[in-house]
Amino acid sequence: MEVSKPRSLSLPSRARRSELQSLPPTPPDTDKEYTDSSSEPTDTESGISWSQHDRPNAPILPLYHLPPKYKPDNTVLVEDLKTPDNHVTRDPRLIRLTGIHPFNVEAPLSDLYDEGFLTTKDLHYVRNHGAVPKVEDSEMMDWDFTIEGMVDNPIRMSLAQLIQNYDQHTYPITLVCAGNRRKEQNIVRKTKGFSWGAAGLSTALWTGVAIGDLIRAARPQRGARFVCFEGADKLPNGYYGTSIKLSWATDAERGVMLAHKMNGETLPPDHGKPLRVVIPGQIGGRSVKWLKRIIVTKEPSDNWYHIYDNRVLPTMIDPEASADLPDTWKDERYAIYDLNTNSATCYPAHNEELSLHQSEHAYNVRGYAYAGGGKRITRVEITLDKGKTWALANISYPEDQYRLASEGETLYGGRIDISWRESSFCWCFWDLDVPIPRLQAADDIMVRAMDEAMMVQPRDMYWSVLGMMNNPWFRVVIHKEGHKLRFEHPTQPALMPGGWMERVKKAGGNLTNGYWGEQLAGEAEAAEPVQPAKEICMTNNKVNRTITLEELKSHDGETEPWFVVNGEVYDGTGFLEGHPGGPTSITGAAGQDASEEFLAIHSENAKAMLVDYHIGTLDATSQSRLSDGETAAPEDAPPRDVFLQHKVWTKAILSAKTSVSPDAKIFTFTLEHAEQAVGLPIGQHLMMRLRDPVTREAILRAYTPISTNGTKGKLDVLVKVYRDTPTQKGGRMTQALDSLPLGHFVDFKGPHGKFEYLGRGLCTVSGRERRVRRFVMVCGGSGITPIFAVLRAVLADREDPTSCVVLDGNRTEEDILCKAELDAMLVGNEHRYRLNYILSRPSSAWAGARGRIDKELIAREVGSCDGADGADVVLVCGPKPLEESVLSIFTEAGWKKDDMVFF
């Protein structure tokens, strides 16, 4: 490969880095402007502070980089106004990776690179798991944290004491998210993580205290081996926490610190204001923000986020199976600490065009590289022929400039001298001038880096269920288009389209064939791309009305409910009475964006019906302002007495799974506090929502809990798990729920339903009261749950005169759910309760009814409708074939549809 020879790599020996006499090459050319609170003059051409030998009459000034100027006009963005982060100012250039909230972002790759070695708070990547704790400036110095656990001298300390009583240090440190470049893995096969591009890293000057000084003051006990950290960010599965080895924390060479400044300023809220852990050389997930507790322990952290996040599981474990392997998740061999070696090309940028008529003879290809655990990048290599030949790139190490600081020199109140340290904790920059004719002849540019342990980036991807630590060669494709070249990166972050990987996969290419999806000689032609299913039209093309958010919100009540699906506004008033789920299913979405809920649970027929209710389009500004309905209560809001909320999803923690049959389990959820009532009327249901473990799409289903109405603090839901078989797919919701690990959260909302039992024969159906003398209850499988709730309420009241006939259809004896409870309720209630089990595949010992719930059985056990006054009501819940059969049989027998309720 014939390209220009690299400049000197400026690789000082580890033992002599404190004796550097010359600066390494300058980082990106665009790194021009630096600022410091001391207003020291800077060389705006080099981007490096002046030294005395440059200006003999000037004072001695540092040779290292200072932070670029940040944007003074950032404000709270419109997207954040209706989230718990409505107190945080942010840069609109940041790319949101997980929707509006929580805030997980990276900068556009070119913008990040252009800022140079140090990243402003504006473009520094952010990984938040939930809401940002709000800390006023006046409260900062009183912020306290503890050092506890296996220590002889437990410590509680304020930030003011930390600053006053301990030596302060200022170091440049690069933080990298373990998910950096994950989008590439998600294109190959969906992981359980969101799609980071190649800008999930940033570098800043951090000021704080060496954590080893604090731990030594606490005096760890014999046998202590780990240091656990816990933040103040309260999350569905507890406070965020993790751990590292005690020997690492106390090793000055490792550089672990408690930081209270970033680039010379108070920590921004997104970066841990007022105090955080910063762990150089390790994944960003170990650097806990908003620090409150340091716990010295014998074992690694048992925090949910330490166990179920930041792991590289073996590649054969798929998303479906992963959540049901608690011992695998807890295996510390799979935990990620040190970063692996990685690199990426920043220029040419994605979709950048290069004219072949330009005067320059070469193009300067450039990018970044980093390693972990304090190791130094020692070489970066470029190939233009898919790895047949390689060329060494030039490398610049801006971090080395800080090793030139004089002994005792301070910056932002902390000592900057790192001449004694052998480790490297920052990214470096590489570049190589490539003759344009060579680019024109090549199909792609690929880069790989190597560290001083001779660990080199692999050619191929190691796919894992969380999609972390992705570091194969970074490939940029070259397209020849007339008199220009166009460059294409592998992916674009988040849901942004683009990138050769997405293009190749859509064309049917195999991205795991070892040749980046290109067809090999002898391979069969790629199959024709699958044609997408025909889209259901849900809009009336004659409607041409623009609706504002204010108009929408004026219809958020129960009389004229308007709701939004895919930006279109619908009036649900005309369907309040006829909706199978009852009017609350519509009023619960009134004034909100119901896209996710509607599309997840409704059939194609229901989607087509929306045309009749379409009244207009929400204007673009309103669409960006519209909350997704997940408004969170303020941090200081008093605990609610009732768990369920009609319009807001509320989280509960999965705390137990109890098998009651080979394919059915009771899932127990812990509510927000021990005295909290569920808030579900008898006969109604709630909506449950979780994420598909593979696609991360929302799955919503309706369930009726089997908890008694007076139960507080917990919620029991009986679920029949429909698993995949060789001949058909199982249930998405039930399999995902069954795979969910204990300690995970699930979203709930309600109540919903058109039926409610008020007691002693009084009920409401679609909001209208009616008296009932007899309930005919027909169910199958897990359809017993709403029947069970009503039956239990009737029989629990000795003064209730209502009689009940139950027809419970199943395949085998072991499929009968709640049998012990159903049988027990017979005692003392024989005069008003008749129970019938019907089995389609009974054992030879079965003495009860055999077959199915058919016309003869219903005629024998139910008889005719009790008069014309509507005194009988049929309650039905089960598989669709059962419901259709029951409707037909009862209709033929003269029963009115108004006397039948299908849950």
Catalytic residues: 177, 309-310
The pair of structure tokens assigned to 606 is 């229901």
Backbone angles phi, psi at 883, to 5 degrees: -60, -45
- C-alpha to C-alpha distance for 378 and 113, rounded to whole angstroms: 20
Retrieve residue 452's tokens. 């001083």
Q: What is the spatial distance between Cα 340 and Cα 448, in angstroms, rounded to a whole number?
A: 12
DSSP letter at 283 equals B
* Residue 210, SS3 per DSSP: strand
Cα 785 → chain centroid: 32
List the one residue out of 75, 88, 276, 96 whose CA is nearest residue 175. 276
Q: Which of 899, 897, 885 is nearest to 838 (CA)?
A: 885
Q: Which tokens hold the place of 720?
A: 């029949």
Alpha-carbon gap, residue 203 to 810, rounded angstroms:
62
**Alpha-carbon 672 to chain mean position:** 21
Q: How far apart are CA 282 and CA 370, in angstroms?
A: 11
Q: For 395-405, b where at least 16 C-beta lie within 10 A, e where not — what string?
A: bbbbbbbbbbb
Q: Supply the DSSP symbol for 335.
A: B
Query: In this structure, how many other beta carbons lie within 10 angstroms of the beta carbon of residue 418?
Result: 24
Q: What is the C-alpha separation between 587 and 752, in angstroms, rounded?
A: 10
Q: Are 211 and 229 in contact (CB under 8 A)?
A: no
Single-letter code of the amino acid located at 212: G
Residue tagged 């409910």 (tokens): 561
Cβ count within 10 A of residue 843? 9
- Is the Cβ–Cβ distance between 94 and 106 less than 8 Å? yes
CA-closest candidate to residue 593, choices 618, 574, 613, 610? 618
* Joined tokens for residue 164: 């006053």
Would you call the peptide bond into 458 cis, given omega within 30 degrees of 0 as the criterion? Answer: no
Phi, psi of 746 (to 5 degrees): -135, 145
